[in-house]
Structure 1
Amino acid sequence: MAVPKREEAATTRGSRIFDTLRQDLVNGRFEAGQKIAISSLRERYAVGLSPLREALNRLAAYGLLIQENQRGFRVPRLAREELDDIAEMRRELEGMALERAIQHGDAEWESELLAAAHRLKRADMASAEVDQWELLHARYHRTLVAPCGSVWLLRFIDQLHDQFDRYRRMAPGVPEIRRTLDGQHSELVELALNRDVKGARALLEHHIELSYQVALGSCEGRLE
C-alpha cells in the first residue's frame, strides 16, 4: 500500500532534523550537560513540533541525548570512564569488523577503499572545510570495514564513532599526531589490500589509541 504523501513528507522532515541535530551534537555545538529547550530548537531549525520530538526521541535512543522524565532532554556529560569504554569497544568491534572485511572483501571493495583513501588524503584538514574532512574521514573508516558481513556490527561501529567524536572534535590541532594518523590511513589500505589481517588489526588498534590520547588530552579538566 502506498504511503500518503503527507506521511512521507513528515518522515522526510523527521529524518532531516535527526541528521542535522546528530551532526550538531557530535560537533559540540551544544554544551555537555546542557538542557535542550524544545522551543528554541523549533526556532533555530525552523521545524515543527512533531518531527522535532520524533528526532529528539531517536537521538535519545541512539545515546546522543538523555531523556529526563517530564523534564525534556539533556546533552550527556563528558566522562573519562565513558571515553575509556568507547575507545575499548572501538578497538574490539572495529578490529573484528576489519578482520572479516579483509577475509570477504572483493575487487569492488578494494577499488572503493582506494578511492575513499585518496579523497581523504586530498582533503587536507588544515586547508579544507573541516566538516567536509570529517565526512570523508567517516566514509573512509566505514568503507574500510564495509564487507564485514554484519549490518548490526556496522551499526554499532557507527554509533561508537559518533560517541567518540563528541570528545575527539574538541581537540586542538596537533600537527605531528595528525600526520601520523593520516599516514596510518594509507598504511591500513596497503595492509588490507595485501590481506594482512594481523598487521591491519594491530595498526587499526594503534590508530584508535592515538585518537583516544588526543581526545583525552583535549578534555582534561572537563571530564567527570
Structure 2
Amino acid sequence: MAKPASPLTHASRVFERLRQDIVNGRFKAGEKIAINTLKARYEVGLSPLREALNKLAAYGLLIQENQRGFRVPGLDRAELDDIAEMRRRLECMALEQAMRYGDAEWESALLAAAHRLRRADGDSVEQWEALHLHFHRTLVAPCGSPWLLRFIEQLHDQFDRYRRRAPDNPSIREVLDAQHDQLVELALKRETRAASLCLENHVLLSYQVALESCRD
C-alpha cells in the first residue's frame, strides 16, 4: 500500500506550480495573494501552502509583508536592468566554462535541445517556453559550478516574469531563434569569444522585449 504524500512533497509540488504561474503571469504584478483561493486552486492544505509561499518569498518571486500575507512583486525598470545585466555576466561566464569542460555527451544533448526547440514553433506557448528553458540550461550545464547554475536559474525566472508579460514581437522572435542556432554552432567549435558575444547580444535583444512590460 502506497504511503500518503508527506507535507514536504505537497509543499514542493505547490511551490513548483505556483512558481510557474507567477513567472507565466497568471497573477498580476503587485497582486495580493489570497491564501484561501490558493488552497482551492492547488488543492493543498494550509501548512504545505505556507511552506511553499515562504520558499517563494526567499526565492524572490513573492514579497512577504509583516502580518499581511504575501503579494507578487511589481514590475520595475531598474530591477529589470539589474536582472538583465547579472544574467548577461553570469551566463557568459558559465558558457565559457561549459565550452571548456563540455564533452561529447554535452554536445549531443545541446544539438538535441536545439533541434527540439526549432521544431516547437507550432506548439503551445507553454511547450515552447519549456523547451526554451531546457535549451538554455543545457547550453551551460557542464560549467562545473552548481552555485553558478543556481543563480542563473533564479535570474531566468525573474527575467521571464518580465518577458512573458510583454507584447509578442514576431520579428524579434525570429532573430532570437536564429541566435539559438548560432550559439550551438559557436559552442561546438569552442569559439569562446564569439559565443560569448552572441550570448550577450541574445540577452540584450531579449531584454528589449522584456522592457515593454515596464511601459505605461
Partner of 1:113: 110
Question: How far is the alpha carbon of 1:172 from its aligned partner?
Answer: 2.0
Partner of 2:154: 159
Task: Say yes or no: does 1:22 pair with 2:19.
Answer: yes
Partner of 1:100: 97
Q: TM-score, normalised by structure 1?
A: 0.93
8 Å CA contact 2:114–2:181 kept in 1: the answer is yes
Moved more, 209-218 or 100-109: 209-218
Moved more, 127-136 or 8-17: 8-17
Change in 2 beyond 3 A, CA 1:49/1:6: farther
Distance 2:79 2:3 in 1: 41
8 Å CA contact 1:191–1:199 kept in 2: the answer is yes
AA paired with 2:31?
Q
Partner of 1:70: 67
8 Å CA contact 1:170–1:219 kept in 2: the answer is no
Partner of 2:81: 84
Task: Say yes or no: does 1:147 pair with 2:137.
Answer: no
Q: TM-score, normalised by structure 2?
A: 0.97
Distance 1:71 1:170 in 2: 26
Partner of 1:169: 164
Deviations 1:138-168 (A, max 9, x none): 0000000000000000000000000000110
Distance 1:183 1:82 in 2: 28
Question: How far is the alpha carbon of 1:6 from its aligned partner?
Answer: 6.6
Partner of 2:211: 216
Runs of 4+ in 1 over 3 A off after TM superposition: 5-8
Distance 2:205 2:37 in 1: 38
8 Å CA contact 2:167–2:212 kept in 1: the answer is no
Question: How far is the alpha carbon of 1:95 from its aligned partner?
Answer: 0.4
AA paired with 2:91?
E
AA paired with 1:143?
T
Paired residue secondary structure (1:128):
coil
AA paired with 1:94?
E
Q: Which runs of 5+ in 1 are unaligned?
A: none
Partner of 1:130: 125
Task: Say yes or no: does 1:206 pair with 2:207.
Answer: no
Paired residue secondary structure (2:70):
strand
Paired residue secondary structure (2:162):
helix
Sequence identity (%): 70
AA paired with 2:120?
A
Q: Which runs of 5+ in 2 are unaligned?
A: none
Distance 1:141 1:35 in 2: 31
Q: Which of 42, 45, 53 is 2:39 aligned to?
A: 42
Distance 2:173 2:71 in 1: 32
Paired residue secondary structure (1:57):
helix
Question: How far is the alpha carbon of 1:46 from its aligned partner?
Answer: 1.3
Distance 1:148 1:6 in 2: 38
Question: How far is the alpha carbon of 1:174 from its aligned partner?
Answer: 1.3
AA paired with 2:178?
G
Question: How far is the alpha carbon of 1:217 from its aligned partner?
Answer: 2.1
Distance 2:188 2:87 in 1: 22
Question: How far is the alpha carbon of 1:173 from its aligned partner?
Answer: 1.9
Question: How far is the alpha carbon of 1:7 from its aligned partner?
Answer: 8.4
